[in-house]
Amino acid sequence: MITPIEGFSKLTKEEKINWIAANYTTNPENTKAFLKVYWNSDLQLQKLHDEFIENTISNYYLPLGIAPNFLINNKLYAIPMAIEESSVVAAASKAAKFWLGRGGFKTTVLGTEKVGQVHFIYTGDAKKLERFFILIKPVLFSETAELTASMKKRGGGITKIELRNKTNELANYYQLHCTFETLDAMGANFINSCLEQFAKTLKKEALLFSAFDATEKNIEIVMSILSNYVPNCLVRAEVSCKIEELQENPNISSEKLAQKIVQAVTIAKVEPYRAVTHNKGIMNGIDAVILATGNDFRAIEAGIHAYASRSGSYTSLTDASIENGIFKFWIEIPMALGTVGGLTNLHPLVKIALEILQKPTAEELMQIVAVAGLAQNFAALRSLVTTGIQEGHMKMHLLNILNQLGATETEKEQLTTYFKTHTVTHSAVASAYNKLKND
């Protein structure tokens, strides 16, 4: 019987591994040996990885790939992508190559505003609270001056503080809704530090405000935290070409291909079941670049999906149109990224990924990431409306299936050749593998 453990975090890494292996695995010695296989032989590098999070026992690897030939605003990029899913890097690369000879991708940063809020409960007269806020607003700025000094020197800082009355949604609920410019930093620590100081100032000044009665002076701070919903930290990426330049498949005309892509996007606009999968494909490209560059893909995911629901219904992140013989395909998405601070200064592979991207600013990285998402969606839609998604995806998945079956290198070569002219499914690969083994 397994019993709870006290002080697990105080154990050495070796002791943690021994305890986990002994209590939760069927072959403890094999588990211990296998976990150590993934340690880095460079002890200093391993120590760095161990200190990223708590209670580390090993490293968890994802492949780091490159999607080349992305022409973005007339500048050529090779985009690093960290992802485990077959066909994502191949699809992005294929889309990049397709648009390379058609003018490439055009991008624009539409805004870089980030958001944080102080959530609080106030049970008094709303008009008094509004007068109080007007009086203390300069104090909120002045009492964060030390925190913002360095950011302001670089052109950033706090851009706006608003009092918002949310009592229609929740009794006695108000907030300070604050906006920030954090330049090349994602800025989470900066924003949260400012917000916590706002909360302290709010409580302190309320006690001194003579117009408040005893109850009104007792403002209750619920929490002070940044928001990962950043609808005004927005980037646009687009591609366009003459309809006749769209054709690469002899089985479908350029006009029909353009129409079907537009139809597919329109369906994702009105049908949430399709929109979720449509946007998941976009996030295949986005998340892979976010991970490779040491940014927070969970925050980006949450903010982007919220943005996809801003109309009240979950909908497509991309748009497509046909006008005057021109096919246009574009995306507008919010994302708060950083190229300094956090893992960008610590993780060696993140440093290399950013170097490969020619050391982008945060705004440049926003544009690169948006392009990766747009390219992924274009590749997926083009496959869906022509050959179907499985043909290309399963061919890329072939090696994973063969590895699961335990194929040798020679067997992999033979079966890879065979499936160049045969449909790849798990059962078909298993059958061909078994036949090869028995011949």
Catalytic center residues: 85, 280, 296, 393
Are the C-beta atoms of residues 121 and 172 closer than 8 Å to each other?
yes
Q: What is the DSSP letter of 340?
A: B
Query: How many Cα atoms occupy the beta-carbon half-sphere of 195 within 13 Å?
Result: 27
Give the angle subtended at the CA of 360 by the CAs of 151 and 226, to the nearest 5°.
45
C-alpha span between 399 and 86 (Å, rounded): 9
> DSSP secondary structure string, 77-146?
EEEEEE--STTHHHHHHHHHHHHHTTT-BEEEE----EEEEEEEE--S-HHHHHHHHHHHHHHHHHTTHH
Helices (H), 60-112: 88-100
Are the C-beta atoms of residues 179 and 159 closer than 8 Å to each other?
yes
Residues 92-130: b if buried by 16+ CB within 10 A, e if exposed: bbbbbebbeeeebbbbebeebbbbbbbbbebebeeeebe
C-alpha span between 334 and 370 (Å, rounded): 9
Residue listed under structure tokens 């964060």:
144
> What are the backbone dihedrals phi and psi of residue 131, each rounded to the nearest 5 degrees, phi first?
-65, -40
Are the C-beta atoms of residues 267 and 196 closer than 8 Å to each other?
no
> What are the backbone dihedrals phi and psi of residue 110, each rounded to the nearest 5 degrees, phi first?
-95, -15
Largest pairwise CA distance in the chain: 93
C-alpha span between 178 and 232 (Å, rounded): 13
Cross-strand bridge partners of residue 75:
72
- Position 329, amino acid: F
Residue 32: which of 5, 56, 52, 14 has the closest Cα? 14
Are the C-beta atoms of residues 238 and 248 closer than 8 Å to each other?
no
Residue 342: which of 154, 188, 224 has the closest Cα? 188
Residue 239: which of 101, 109, 418 has the closest Cα? 101
Cross-strand bridge partners of residue 319:
330
Reduced to 3 states (helix: H, G, I; strand: E, B; else coil), residue 285 is: helix
